[in-house]
Amino acid sequence: MIKFVLNPKTGIPFYRQIIDQIRFGIASGNLSTGEQLPTVRALAVELKVNLNTVAKAYKELEIQDILETQQGTGTFISATENKVFESERKHKLQSIIQEFTTITFSYGFTIDEIIDELKNQTNGN
């Protein structure tokens, strides 16, 4: 199970953040086929958001055949092939980088410092 975290500072609607986190959880292997998600009510209480916010996210993922809801049992990760499309991956990366660079530049880091630190992170240092 993944730990859902919503960030009001991103400007991304909460329902979209929930969708993104579920899709990323599947793509990264943290959520697997058949795994049960929290109920709409339980997740709404945990995240302190309106029930409709979670319901909208779940409904959109059902339409995309990523989730399936079984009446009286719960909501589960669908057995269909769940791959993040290349365009969606690229868009997500651009979004992450935009947020990342905004923060790092606001602290006065240069591009060279950022690149050096990224290289250190990928080399395990």
CATH number at residue 61: 1.10.10.10
- Same domain assignment for residues 44 and 14: yes
Residue 97 forms part of a structural domain: yes
Residues of the domain holding 108: 86-122
Question: Which residue is listed with tokens 């058949």?
Answer: 34
- Same domain assignment for residues 60 and 13: yes
The Cα 115–Cα 112 span in angstroms is 5
- Same domain assignment for residues 99 and 38: no
The Cα 82–Cα 65 span in angstroms is 8
- One digit per residue, pLDDT tens: the chain, 125 residues? 789 999 999 889 999 999 999 988 888 788 999 999 999 999 999 999 999 999 999 999 999 889 999 988 999 999 865 455 666 778 888 888 999 999 999 999 999 999 999 899 888 65
Closest CA to 56 of 29, 22, 93: 22
Residue 2 forms part of a structural domain: no
**Are residues 1 and 42 in contact, defined by beta-carbon separation less than 8 angstroms?**
no
Residue partners of 53: CB distance under 8 A and separation at least 6: 14, 15, 18, 44, 47
- Same domain assignment for residues 39 and 99: no
User: Which token pair is 46?
Assistant: 């945990």
Closest CA to 56 of 24, 4, 13: 13
- Same domain assignment for residues 110 and 67: no
